[in-house]
Structure 1
Amino acid sequence: MELLGIHHVSIMTGKAEKNFDFYTKVMGMRLVKKGVNQDDTTSYHLFYGDGVASPGSELTFFDLPGIGPTYQGVSSISASSLRVADTAALQYWSDRFDSLNVTHEEIKSRAGRDTLAFQDFEGTRLILVADNNEQGVAPGQAWAGSDVPVEHGILGLGPVTLTVANPDNTVMILTEVLGFRHVGSYPSLAGEQHADIQVYATGEGGAGAEIHIETRPELPFARLGRGGVHHVAFRVPNEEQYNAWSEKLSKLGIPNSGKVDRHYFRALYFREPNGILFELSTDTPGFDIDESMDSLGETLSLPPFLEPHRTEIEAKLRPLVLED
């Protein structure tokens, strides 16, 4: 029983329309699902992924108009990554960000890979990571429906960084419960006075299967708002292993959500000891269960248990105009 890598990362946005423009028109990602927050059906939930909605490629956003800003700190998911093919793609993105006035850093090395850190319009911290033919979890397929050349397009999710005051208990959950292994470290880019960032991997390893742990005891606790990451989900290959994970968490006495059917995947939620929300999500059945692959994200999708309430749900949702 082994987790395959990162499944998705869920983030908060205060402006879904501008969010759609940024991730589809600037980043060239595909809107693969337009749904609602199943725990609060008065708000939208948008999913962006690669060209075929591969597991491990989705950034998702909860739309919460009027939400306050995120205050960075510990007990947080402080950065998320997106994979591209090679260092040439990073240079393309650096030039593209310059032309579109997107805040970004220079190309830098992280964990032995070339990377390019940037922020979206709400301050979400993101990092482009160059695969450069590295072995590990296979990349997805870039979306061909944008003006971003396919050879430079987004191929899926890369490493996720957790910032904590004390890493010991977080590492214990990653290694002793979830089966991650320590595979290396690299210097903190915050300065030599800070501890090296530790790298943990699962499954086949590589950029699509890593968690990076940053230890920053001097920082305050983070406060989640717009641009902040709500949770990270890890890939479970099938429902059989999902059931086994549910049983394992219960046997270990780890408080969790119990089994949750999200229709497109099955989910389990729990908080690790520093308070960061983890999710275990199945690769199956996938985002094309209720829409054809050619028409993903074109209409409001509701799971079967909400479909009988469509009229009521749509009446309470604010108008959302997403223009291609």
Structure 2
Amino acid sequence: MSISTSGLHHVTAIGGDPQRNADFYLRTLGLRLVKTTVNFDDPGTYHLYYGDRSGKPGTLMTFFPWKDAPSGRHGTGQATTTSFSVPEASIGWWKQHLEDAGVETSRVTNRDAEDVLTFRDPDGLELALVAHPQGDPREPWDNGHVPAEHAVRGLHSVTLSVNREEATAGMLTEGLGLGFANQDRNRFRFTAGEGGPGALVDVLVTPDAPSGLVAAGTVHHVAWRAPDEPTQAAWREELVDRGVQVTSILDRQYFRSIYFREPGGTLLEVATDEPGFGIDEPLLELGRALKLPPWLEPNREQIQAMLPKLELPDENNLERA
């Protein structure tokens, strides 16, 4: 593979009640809602994007929240843990903060020289906060609920659960251009570019685990970064030449996307860094209004009638943004 990714672009999961989802990710985790739109393939549901101040690639966690969605099953063939990067000295603060919010947490463990705190969101999605000993230079979003000195810096890594690692490892290294970093028993770590927070994926081998079922509380897909559309088009051609079944290039308004499955079953995406979330609303107003792509705009009234009401806290759009 002559083209390689620089790291994670976003992780997309299935949620339940959209208001509960927004309250948790905005207030408990302290992220910013950078875009309120709809699932372009099913516009009767929201697509909510959370991230840093401007929604930079590598900071994004997104959701399709269906209020009455059945619960999924965690297992092989899916991303089972989404990890966020926090400052090294903040794990203790986060443990107390989450417990004060009624969130049950694990004990703090140390893996690969990083402190890790695991917990679940209101729909059962497994999340982790990871403190990297070399730090993370990305600037946090400061919304008043989580002090900037403790705030999430962006995505740290994802964990893919598989029955066997060989074919998945081959896709990560030969299809995405990642490098093998290390092995800790049944956990294999791969890095994009120079590695570090936002450029990591762990492959967890659990031969006897059941297959996962994608529904509420599970990850739908994991997206990796491509710098621009020409690179993405060339990348797609290389994947097709390798025999990978890849979608056509799809317009997601804020980036362009291709999708394919790695051999272990997880749906992967390659998404462009451009054009970003500022193309249809100012930075100060990100996420405030429902945004639709041009091809759905004529149906705005019908779409809005199908969507449940969603109230955003004022701190999502602070004047100091």
Shorter-chain TM-score: what band? over 0.9
Partner amino acid for 2:141?
A: W
CA deviations on 1:162-209 (whole Å, 9 max, x unpaired) are 0111111111111112111101122xxxxxxxx430000111211211
Alignment partner for residue 75 of structure 1, among 74, 77, 83?
77
1:57 and 2:59 are equivalent in the alignment: yes
Shift of 1:139: 4.4
CA separation in 2, counterparts of 1:7 and 1:139? 17
Is the CA contact (8 Å cut-off) linking 1:268 and 1:281 kept in structure 2? yes
Partner amino acid for 1:108?
A: T
Alignment partner for residue 166 of structure 1, among 164, 167, 182?
164
Q: TM-score, normalised by structure 2?
A: 0.94
Aligned residues: 312
User: 1:191 aligns to what?
Assistant: none
Identity between Structure 1 and Structure 2 (%): 39
Partner amino acid for 1:278?
A: L
Q: Specify every segment of 5 or more residues in structure 2 that has no aligned partner in the other structure, as ranges.
A: 315-321
User: 1:197 aligns to what?
Assistant: 187
Shift of 1:318: 2.9
What does 1:1-324 correspond to in 2, within 5 Å?
Answer: 1-86=3-88, 88-134=89-135, 139-186=137-184, 195-324=185-314
Partner amino acid for 2:76?
A: V
Is the CA contact (8 Å cut-off) linking 1:57 and 1:140 kept in structure 2? no
CA deviations on 1:49-101 (whole Å, 9 max, x unpaired) are 01221111011010112111122211111100101121x21111011112111
Shift of 1:222: 1.0
Is the CA contact (8 Å cut-off) linking 1:54 and 1:140 kept in structure 2? no
Shift of 1:323: 4.2
Between stretches 36-45 and 313-322, larger displacement belongs to 313-322
Name the CA shift for 1:101/1:319 in 2 (closer, same or farther; >3 Å). closer
Between stretches 98-107 and 311-320, larger displacement belongs to 311-320
RMSD (CA atoms): 1.4
User: 2:317 aligns to what?
Assistant: none
CA separation in 2, counterparts of 1:302 and 1:204? 36
Partner amino acid for 2:216?
A: R
Between stretches 302-311 and 225-234, larger displacement belongs to 302-311
CA deviations on 1:247-273 (whole Å, 9 max, x unpaired) are 112222211111001010010000111
Is the CA contact (8 Å cut-off) linking 1:85 and 1:131 kept in structure 2? yes
The DSSP-based 3-state class of the residue aligned with 1:143 is coil
Is the CA contact (8 Å cut-off) linking 1:83 and 1:154 kept in structure 2? yes
CA separation in 2, counterparts of 1:203 and 1:258? 26
